[in-house]
Amino acid sequence: MNKNLVLYASILVFGLAAPFIFPAFKVQLSILCVLIILAVTWNIQGGEMGYNSFGNILFYGLGMYLCASVQVGMFFPLAEWTESGGEKTFVHTPTQFFQGMAVGLVVAAVVPTIVAGLIGYSILGLRGHYFAICTLGLGVAAGEISGGIEIIGAGQGFTTPPFPNVGGLEARGEFFYFCSFFALVFAFITVRGIYSTRFKLILNAIRDNEDKAEAMGIETMKYKIIGWMVSAFFCGLAGGIMGGLVGYIDSTDVAFDGREMGVFMVLMAILGGKGTLWGPVIGATVFHIFKEGFWTFFLGWQYVALGVLIVIIVIYFPEGIMGWLREKFPERFGEVVDEADRKAQVELK
- What residues line the site for other proteins (CB under 8 A)? 3-4, 6-7, 10-11, 14, 21-28, 31, 84-89, 91, 144, 147-148, 154-157, 159, 162-163, 169, 172-173, 242, 245-248, 250-254, 257, 260, 278, 282, 285, 289, 295, 299-300, 302-303, 325, 329, 331-334
Taking the least distance from each CB to other proteins, the nearer of 92 and 224 is 92
The contacts of residue 127 (CB under 8 Å, 6+ apart) are: 51, 210
- 221 or 246, CB closer to other proteins? 246
Kindly state the smallest distance separating residue 175's Cβ from other proteins, in Å. 12
Smallest distance, other proteins to C-beta of residue 276, A:
10
* Short-list 100, 14, 86, CA closest to 285: 14
Q: Which residue, 32 or 206, is less far from other proteins as judged by CB?
A: 32
- Among residues 227 and 239, whose Cβ is nearest to other proteins? 239
The three-state secondary structure class of 348 is helix
| Minimum distance from residue 242 beta carbon to other proteins (Å) | 8
What is the smallest separation between the CB atom of 336 and other proteins, expressed in angstroms? 13
CB nearer to other proteins: give 234 or 264: 264
Cα 210 from Cα 204, distance rounded (Å):
9
Q: CA 40, CA 234: separation in Å to the nearest integer?
A: 10
Closer to other proteins at the Cβ: 205 or 254? 254
Q: How far is the CB of 315 from other proteins (least distance, A)?
A: 22
**Angle at 321 (CA atoms; ends 275, 129), nearest 5 degrees:** 45
Q: Is the CB of 50 or the CB of 262 nearer to other proteins?
A: 262
H or E, element range at 2: helix 2-21
Q: How many CA atoms lie within 13 A of 261 on its CB side?
A: 26
Provide the β-strand partners of residue 248: 159
Q: Mention every residue, 6+ apart, whose C-beta is less than 8 A from residue 278.
A: 272, 322
Give Cα separations from 115 to 232, 255, 257 (angstroms). 8, 16, 18
Q: CB of 266: closest distance to other proteins in angstroms?
A: 18
Residue 285's contacts (CB-CB under 8 Å, 6 or more residues apart) are 32, 36
- Provide the minimum distance between the beta carbon of 123 and other proteins in the complex, in angstroms, as a whole number: 24
DSSP β-bridge partners for residue 341: none
